[in-house]
Each structure stands twice: as structure tokens, then as C-alpha cells.
Amino acid sequence: MISFEIKKQVVLIYLWLWWNTTANICVEATSDSLKPGDKLDANSTLVSKQGKYALFFDRTLASEDAHLVISVNADYGAVVWMYDRNHSIDLNSAVLSLDYSGVLKIESQNRKLPIIIYSAPQPINNTLATILDTGNFVLQQFHPNGSETVLWQSFDYPSDVLIPTMKLGVNKKTGHNWSLVSWLTPSRTTSGEFSLEWEPKQGELNIRKSGKVYWKSGKLKSNGLFENIPANVQNMYQFIIVSNKDEDSFTFEIKDRNYKKFSGWVLDWAGRLTSDEGDIGNADMCYGYNSDGGCQKWDDMPTCREPGEVFQGKTGRPYMDNASTIKRDVTYGYSDCKNRCWRNCNCNGFQEFYRNGTGCIFYSWNSTQDVDLVSQDNFYALVNSAKSASNSHGT
């Protein structure tokens, strides 16, 4: 017969096991990893071991719309990655979880079904989702022999920022492409028209708009620098190019391990590829007739445009009564308005229609002469670069 004291100890053990299991289901993540049963909500943050990167839910500007993001350090630094930026979620109810079948998912009240980030064909266990000091968020399966398998990683799905060791190119095993895609406008996170890609055959970086090549980096020279990127901007980088049976890829690392600034490359809404050291490439300067700075010439140049013509940012606003066309399309951003005006011989200036930078107002030449200087809006007028100011690209 089992004594009362032994029965008591057995009950206590069962109670401890039950509490540990059920409590683990709702635990909020406070480290660098989610283990099966853990959850991350709007009040939680995963921080990499050395504090270099953080994973959390971030609000889009002043709205309650949010995305799962990765930022530099835990103090809400520059956002370098965003999951599914074309579809936001409700910040107050958003929850990221890893279940006991190895499913990594996001649940939110504004979505009827969970957003599945990763789900294996068959249920698996021994998984862990970790934010690394490289800025990569990885889901791994650990095996009894001590090895592990990467099931999913954020580096496979770049947004508009390239950080050290993140790749551009193609995974030959899966056919998956790695490329950057710009935001639509400075305040709209949805995918824009510009992309940064690695062209392995030519060994060059390309900035494309809607598939057309606007800018090329040129080839990597024997001194370790690209032809069309300013030397002072790229001296700090060690470029790594891989071409084998598994992948064709480009990435970079920082030579100085003590470098403290943000070291990412950002592809912005106007087609500019920038870093803290300066411009890397600028597709906003490419009009189809010029080849300076890596710009590419086009065969389909409008016959009414001349070499030297550019759009120059001006403060003020042409009178709306003289506007030739208004396009209320919220999928149009700055570069779309610029391209449409450039190809319309009757258009000599443009402006975004909505405050969030979408839609277009197109102006005739006469209308751009009458400017309401009381307004602090910006519009872009077509000028000859020989007579315009040196900062003729952008606002």
C-alpha cells in the first residue's frame, strides 16, 4: 500500500507538470526565441542575444494597423524587415505564436483565419523561432543527433532594406528569388514599382521599375569596388558573390567590426538606393537619355523629350483650375506620376493628389507658371538641367 506522504508527492508532481504545460501555452516571449506554446503580442518583444535586432508588432504611422517587423536594436530603431506589408493587422489583438505542431502563425481580430507563416506537411516538434544578431528571424527544427534544419527564415523574404549577410539573387534548389521592393510612397508600406536585384550573368546590381532596368552598378572591379557606385560609399563593404549549383547570390559585410552606424541599404519610393554613407544608386536621375552614374538608355524614349530635361522639385502649387488631368488612383505613387507625365507631351509638371503620396495631378506648361506660393505643397516642373539647380531630383 502506498503511504499518504508518497501519494501527496505524486499529486504535487502531477500538479507541477500540469501547471508547467498549461502556463507555457500562454507565456509571453521576453527573450530571443519562441518555443512551442509561446506567444508574442503587442506588449512583447523578442531581442537578439547581443541586442542588435528586435522583433515586435509595430503600428503603421498613427493608425491601429500594424505589421510584424524587425528593427535595429530594442529601442525601435530603423525597421529593416516587415512581414506581409501589403496586408496589415490589428495591433491590439495581434498575436504571433509557435504551436506544438511546428506551425508559426499570426492571429488578429481583423482576420477570420490565422496568417500561416510556416506549416510543415506533417506535424513536427522540437522547433524554435529565434531572432538572431544578424537580423534574421529563423524557424528551426532540432534533431536528436544535435543537428538542426532551417524551416523558414525572414532573410528569404526581404522588404525594402538589405542588411549585412542578407542575400540578393536566386536559390537554384527552390527557384526562390531574393530581391528588394520599394514602398509605394513615404507613408504607404505597400509594394512599390522599384526593385533591387542581382544579375548573375553580368555580375551587376540592377534597379528596375516595372521590370525595366533603370540603373546598373557596373561590374565588380579587381579593387573590390563596383564601377558605378561612389568609391567613398562602398569602401567600408566587403562584397561576397556566390555562384554554384545551389545559388547565385550577392551580399555584403562590414569590414570594420566596430562600425556603429546603421549599415543597411534602403531602396526608397523614388528608386534611390541609399546608405548612411550616401547614395549607392539613384534611378530617380535616370530619364532614358542619360548614362551617367549607372543610368541606362532606353529605346522607347518619347520623341518630345530632349536630353537635359528633368523634373525639378518646387515649393508651391500651380492653380488647380489649370490642371490638365487628375488621376485618383491610390496605386499610383510619385514614380508612376513622373513616368506618366514624362511620356505625355502635353504634361510639364505633376504633383501627388492625396496627402499619403498617391494619385496624380498633371499640369500643362501654362499652369505651372502660376504658382500659389502661400501653399507649402511640393510639385515637380519639367526644366532643362543646364539651367536648373543642382538638386533637381526630388523635393
Q: Is 337 helix (H, G, I), strand (E, B) or coil?
A: helix
- Domain check: are 172 and 208 in the same one? yes
Mean pLDDT computed over every residue of the chain: 85
| Residue 11, domain member (yes or no) | no
Q: Is 102 helix (H, G, I), strand (E, B) or coil?
A: coil
- Domain check: are 292 and 326 in the same one? no
Strand partners, 241: 250
Question: Cβ neighbours of residue 269 under 8 Å, at least 6 residues apart?
Answer: 182, 183, 184, 185, 186, 192, 194, 333, 334, 335, 357
pLDDT in tens, 186-244: 988 999 999 999 999 999 999 999 999 999 999 999 999 999 999 999 999 999 999 99
Inter-residue contact 89 to 65 (CB < 8 Å): yes
Q: pLDDT tier at 378 (50, 70, 90 boundaries)?
A: confident
Domain of residue 228 covers 158-299
Strand partners, 104: 98, 118
| Residue 10, domain member (yes or no) | no
pTM for the whole structure: 0.85
Q: Which is nearest to 136 in space by CA: 161, 154, 149, 160?
A: 154
- Domain check: are 355 and 248 in the same one? no
Q: Answer yes or no: is pLDDT of 180 > 90.
A: yes
Task: Compute the distance between CA of residue 239 and CA of residue 229 in angstroms, rounded to an integer.
Answer: 13
pLDDT of residue 73: 84
Task: Compute the distance between CA of residue 225 and CA of residue 338 in angstroms, rounded to an integer.
Answer: 32
Q: Is 212 helix (H, G, I), strand (E, B) or coil?
A: strand
Inter-residue contact 362 to 347 (CB < 8 Å): yes
Q: Do β-strands 176-178 and 168-171 pair in parallel, antiparallel, or remain unpaired?
A: antiparallel
Q: pLDDT tier at 11 (50, 70, 90 boundaries)?
A: very low
- Domain check: are 172 and 284 in the same one? yes
Does an H or E element contain 101, and which? Answer: none
Question: Cβ neighbours of residue 126 under 8 Å, at least 6 residues apart?
Answer: 141, 142, 143
pLDDT in tens, 293-334: 999 999 888 989 999 999 998 877 676 655 678 999 999 999
Give the total number of structural domains in the chain.
Answer: 3
Phi, psi of 231 (to 5 degrees): -60, -40
- Domain check: are 54 and 92 in the same one? yes
Tell me the HSE value of 310 on the side-chain side, using a 13 A CA sphere. 20
Strand partners, 148: 142
| Residue 373, domain member (yes or no) | yes
Residue % of the chain over a pLDDT of 90 = 65
> Which of 278, 299, 320 is where one domain is finished?
299
Q: Which residues of 24-53 are buried (b: 16+ CB within 10 A; e: fewer)?
A: eeeeebeebbbbbbbbbbbebbbbbeeebb
pLDDT of residue 319: 64
Q: pLDDT tier at 377 (50, 70, 90 boundaries)?
A: low
Q: What is the mean pLDDT of residues 24-38?
A: 70
Task: Compute the distance between CA of residue 334 and CA of residue 143 in angstroms, rounded to an integer.
Answer: 50
And the C-alpha cell for 14?
A: 502531477
Task: Compute the distance between CA of residue 136 and CA of residue 144 in angstroms, rounded to an integer.
Answer: 24
Task: Compute the distance between CA of residue 119 and CA of residue 343 in angstroms, rounded to an integer.
Answer: 46
Q: pLDDT tier at 114 (50, 70, 90 boundaries)?
A: very high
Q: Answer yes or no: is pLDDT of 22 > 90.
A: no
Looking at residue 172, which CATH number applies to its domain?
A: 2.90.10
- Domain check: are 172 and 282 in the same one? yes
| Residue 13, domain member (yes or no) | no
Inter-residue contact 117 to 152 (CB < 8 Å): yes
Q: What is the 3-state secondary structure (H, E, C) of 53-70?
A: EEEEEEECCCCCEEEEEE
- Domain check: are 367 and 331 in the same one? yes
- Domain check: are 53 and 80 in the same one? yes
Q: What is the mean pLDDT of residues 176-188?
A: 94
Q: What is the mean pLDDT of residues 64-78?
A: 84
Question: Cβ neighbours of residue 174 under 8 Å, at least 6 residues apart?
Answer: none
